[in-house]
Amino acid sequence: PAGGFDLVSCRNVMIYFDDDSRERALSLLTAAVAPGGWLVLGTTDRLPDNCSRVCGFERHRGDRALAYRRGGAAV
């Protein structure tokens, strides 16, 4: 998808993907989130540690999900 989404949610899906598919899906999902937007993943899914730093996401943990907020000004 083209970027610019304020919220992208993909909960508990990537546990069914192989490593290559998971990496590709995460790449597409992170690219779709606008600056200041959120990526919500299930507790079984997570961004790699280096992606949080490199892609500019800050991790927030809830009881049932992991939320990552992309740095930068919201548009």
Counting every residue written for the chain, the total comes to 75
Q: What is the pLDDT of residue 72?
A: 80
- HSE of 15, CA atoms in CB hemisphere, 13 A: 7
Domains defined for the chain, CATH in brackets: 5-70 (3.40.50.150)
**pLDDT tens, 13-68?**
888 999 999 989 988 999 999 999 999 998 888 787 767 667 788 888 777 788 99
pLDDT over 90 at 69, yes or no: yes
pLDDT over 60 at 75, yes or no: no
Q: What is the pLDDT of residue 16?
A: 92
